[in-house]
Structure 1
Amino acid sequence: MLRIAGLSKHLGDFTLTDVNLTVAEREYFIILGPTGAGKTILLETIAGIYAPDAGTITLDGRDVTATDPKDRGVGMVYQDYMLFPHLTIEENIGFGLLQRGVEPARIQESVQEIAGLLGIDHLLGRTPGTLSGGEQQRAAISRALVLRPRILLLDEPLSALDTGTRDRFRKELKAVHRATGTTVVHITHHFEDVFALADRVAVMQDGKVVQVGTPDEVFRRPATEFVAAFTGMENVFYGVSRIQNGETVIDLGGISIRTATDVEGDVCLGIRPEEVIVSREPFESSAINAFPGTVTEVRQNGIFSRVVVETGVPFVAVLTRQSIARLDLAEGKEAYVTFKASAVHVFMR
């Protein structure tokens, strides 16, 4: 549906470098990355706001690299809504159709249909200033969708919303995507958006795409140290990997970890905190990595707690408050960490 090949763009001190991506028909594709990674510039280049210095953009097999933005069949929604304050919500949603010369009766019918899908059909007579942030964002998305774009580009659409509204909006976006079948490219730095919405995700760093895959692939098998750290792997260590007696052992200096990889040499490994089991006694399981240690930190973080156990290297685990209380975990107390060989992800340094 969308193919980006060798795309580069230089803007001031920032450079988008050799971006290659494909997005399938009806796919919900999320671009993830920290602030300044180049997500918005990439989106605006796809939309035609910027002309690339190199590379091509193809939509439905048609090269649109030099095509005027209005002729690309692309809809774009920014996080700050950009609604016309002097127009009603109905007029805002129908503005693009009016510019296209669509008959008033047809505009009204289309606006009612899309507003109903987004749950704002009862707000059509209001002006943007009288709506909540979530209602304004629904109106902005309706304005883009009413034009029936081939692809919808969303620039941090949930960032300006409070937590409760953001959670509800994710469910609505998923329902709208399912109902319309519109291909979506959505940029964000919220991991919750990825797991709630994405079919696939691309991670950007300093103007480059460094990994593409399903959410599970990216979060559980990061391709680089940056992706591991950015996606919250936390337990990231450097060591030397060697195959001994048919199994791979990674020497971290203080301890040695067994893993399923066949990579040898200097490596970086990562283990997600939720893969680490903490116990007060040796834990009986099929997991082959188990180390005694001392709890050095217990920090509350909402319904979960972050526990650090020093075993020669510091392991971070995530436990519920109930588990903390049941295990009587506290700083200075002895504990064991246990994890499977398959939980250890290894990549070259």
Structure 2
Amino acid sequence: MIIIENLNLDFGNFKLLNINLSVESGEYMVVMGPSGAGKTLLLHTIAGMYRPKRGKIIVDGVDVTNLPPEDRGLALIPQDYALFPHMTVYDNIAYGLKARGFPKSEIERRINDICDILNIKHLLSRKPITLSSGEKQRVAIARALVIEPKALLLDEPTAALDPELRSKARKILRKLHNELNFTAIHVTHDIIEAIMLADKAAFMYEGQILRVGKIDEVLRSPNVSRYCEDLNIIKVKVSNGIVGMLGLDLPSKLPDGEYLAVFRPEDLVVCDGGAIDGVIEEVEIRGALNLLYINVGGKLIKVYVTRGEAEILNIKVGKRISLNLISSQVNFYPVV
């Protein structure tokens, strides 16, 4: 378990201000926010690379605030993975174990186990320069997990990957966490990544944590909603092949359970006699577009209309309107 109490840090002109955060054992915490919010600085401070001005960092009941990184029992995966270029994959993974004095037999056992899980045994004799970005990431994860840290700290681990590899990497991280149940703090500016991975999430802005909670609760809060690139994100249930959302019953092949439905404002169309009814709560002018905030059965969703459409439809706060959803554009992610 990691507890951060009233953490403050001055870093040039930037400050971390009154950070309070707790991560339970086995919990996957995602800290999200825009670039420059202080996410990486917070992660590096937890890792021990910077000393806070005041506050505490407690790991499994031990105050590690003033301990060096190597004595905190944490493993950091930086954005660039930081593999040793002159070493083989085997030696990269073994490095932390050798530094801790583990016997050769235990080193080999642990490396075999983690390489089986990550499917990288065939890479052990190669040098990092010969690896793809996805392979480098898996090696970095193996090197971090093989020492069995008290927590894993991940600094935007998929940022350097192309979209296809990024999707695979998210699935690998989710699978690993399900199998190994490690504690993690993962920073990202990728909303979909946060949705797929987070047991709990925190939103950070200008050095402060503005909201902590379940991912759907955090994403629904007003400060965070505007950061989400206007995405609509709502919790839905699938039961007996039917997903109920926004008053609709849509056919689905998904297993029964709770999901987050994610769709963009342009995936809703304002029209007469639409299948969805709602009331306009706010109109935000976006140049040639108006962004409408519409209350549908207690859920606030966002819809675009052009300025011309807004005039023709007499769009205004308090007006009841109807919509249709382009259901083929909705993506569903299991609530973890």
User: Normalised by the size of structure 1, how large is the TM-score?
Assistant: 0.72
**CA distance, structure 2, for counterparts of residue 24 and residue 322 of structure 1:** 37
**CA distance, structure 1, for counterparts of residue 133 and residue 122 of structure 2:** 16
Q: For 1:179-236, what per-residue CA distance to the aligned partner results, in whole angstroms no more than 9, with x for missing partners?
A: 111101000000111111101110111000011111111122x153xx221023479x
Q: CA deviation at 1:118?
A: 1.2
Q: CA deviation at 1:319?
A: 5.7
Sequence identity, in percent? 41
Task: Go from structure 1 to structure 2 and tell me whether the alpha carbon gap of 1:276 and 1:83 turns closer, same or farther (over 3 Å shift).
Answer: closer
Q: CA deviation at 1:320?
A: 4.2
- Residue 82 of structure 2 corresponds to 82
Q: Helix, strand or coil: the match of 2:226?
A: helix
| Correspondence 1:196 to 2:196 | yes
Structure 2: 5+ residue runs without aligned partners? 233-262, 282-287, 291-302, 330-336
Q: CA deviation at 1:308?
A: 1.9
Q: Helix, strand or coil: the match of 1:21?
A: strand
Task: Answer with 49-58 or 105-114: which moved more.
Answer: 105-114
**CA distance, structure 2, for counterparts of residue 52 and residue 101 of structure 1:** 31
**CA distance, structure 1, for counterparts of residue 137 and residue 164 of structure 2:** 14
**CA distance, structure 2, for counterparts of residue 318 and residue 144 of structure 1:** 48
- Residue 66 of structure 1 corresponds to 66
- Residue 206 of structure 2 corresponds to 206
Q: CA deviation at 1:273?
A: 5.3
Q: Helix, strand or coil: the match of 2:169?
A: helix
Structure 1: which amino acid aligns with 2:193? Answer: D
Q: Tell me, yes or no, if the aligned pair for 1:31 and 1:39 is still in contact at 8 Å.
A: yes
| Correspondence 1:229 to 2:226 | yes
**CA distance, structure 1, for counterparts of residue 275 and residue 280 of structure 2:** 10
Task: Go from structure 1 to structure 2 and tell me whether the alpha carbon gap of 1:108 and 1:297 turns closer, same or farther (over 3 Å shift).
Answer: same
Structure 1: which amino acid aligns with 2:13? Answer: D
1:47-126 equivalences under 5 Å are 47-126=47-126
Q: Helix, strand or coil: the match of 2:160?
A: coil
Return the match for 1:312 from 315, 319, 330.
315
Q: Tell me, yes or no, if the aligned pair for 1:307 and 1:319 is still in contact at 8 Å.
A: no
Q: CA deviation at 1:312?
A: 3.4
Q: Tell me, yes or no, if the aligned pair for 1:38 and 1:206 is still in contact at 8 Å.
A: yes
Q: Helix, strand or coil: the match of 2:76?
A: strand
**CA distance, structure 2, for counterparts of residue 288 and residue 124 of structure 1:** 58
Q: Tell me, yes or no, if the aligned pair for 1:210 and 1:223 is still in contact at 8 Å.
A: no
User: Normalised by the size of structure 2, how large is the TM-score?
Assistant: 0.74
- Residue 271 of structure 2 corresponds to 280
**CA distance, structure 2, for counterparts of residue 82 and residue 278 of structure 1:** 47
Structure 1: which amino acid aligns with 2:34? Answer: P
1:161-200 equivalences under 5 Å are 161-200=161-200
Q: Tell me, yes or no, if the aligned pair for 2:270 and 2:324 is still in contact at 8 Å.
A: no
Q: CA deviation at 1:80?
A: 0.4
The 4+ residue runs of structure 1 with deviation greater than 4 A are 272-277, 317-323
Task: Go from structure 1 to structure 2 and tell me whether the alpha carbon gap of 1:92 and 1:288 turns closer, same or farther (over 3 Å shift).
Answer: closer
Structure showing greater radius of gyration is 1
**CA distance, structure 2, for counterparts of residue 177 and residue 113 of structure 1:** 15
Structure 1: 5+ residue runs without aligned partners? 236-271, 299-305, 324-349
| Correspondence 1:154 to 2:154 | yes
Q: Tell me, yes or no, if the aligned pair for 1:7 and 1:20 is still in contact at 8 Å.
A: yes
**CA distance, structure 1, for counterparts of residue 130 and residue 275 of structure 2:** 60
**CA distance, structure 2, for counterparts of residue 297 and residue 322 of structure 1:** 23
Task: Go from structure 1 to structure 2 and tell me whether the alpha carbon gap of 1:13 and 1:135 turns closer, same or farther (over 3 Å shift).
Answer: same
| Correspondence 1:13 to 2:13 | yes
Task: Go from structure 1 to structure 2 and tell me whether the alpha carbon gap of 1:219 and 1:95 turns closer, same or farther (over 3 Å shift).
Answer: same
Q: Tell me, yes or no, if the aligned pair for 2:265 and 2:304 is still in contact at 8 Å.
A: no
Q: For 1:272-292, what per-residue CA distance to the aligned partner results, in whole angstroms no more than 9, with x for missing partners?
A: 95599534323365x45279x
Q: Tell me, yes or no, if the aligned pair for 2:8 and 2:54 is still in contact at 8 Å.
A: yes
Q: Tell me, yes or no, if the aligned pair for 1:9 and 1:53 is still in contact at 8 Å.
A: yes
Structure 2: which amino acid aligns with 1:152? Answer: L
Q: Tell me, yes or no, if the aligned pair for 2:154 and 2:184 is still in contact at 8 Å.
A: yes
Superposition RMSD in Å: 2.8
Task: Go from structure 1 to structure 2 and tell me whether the alpha carbon gap of 1:13 and 1:290 turns closer, same or farther (over 3 Å shift).
Answer: closer
Q: Helix, strand or coil: the match of 1:230?
A: coil
Q: Tell me, yes or no, if the aligned pair for 2:231 and 2:265 is still in contact at 8 Å.
A: no
Matched length:
272
**CA distance, structure 1, for counterparts of residue 304 and residue 326 of structure 2:** 10
| Correspondence 1:289 to 2:279 | yes
Structure 2: which amino acid aligns with 1:281? Answer: D
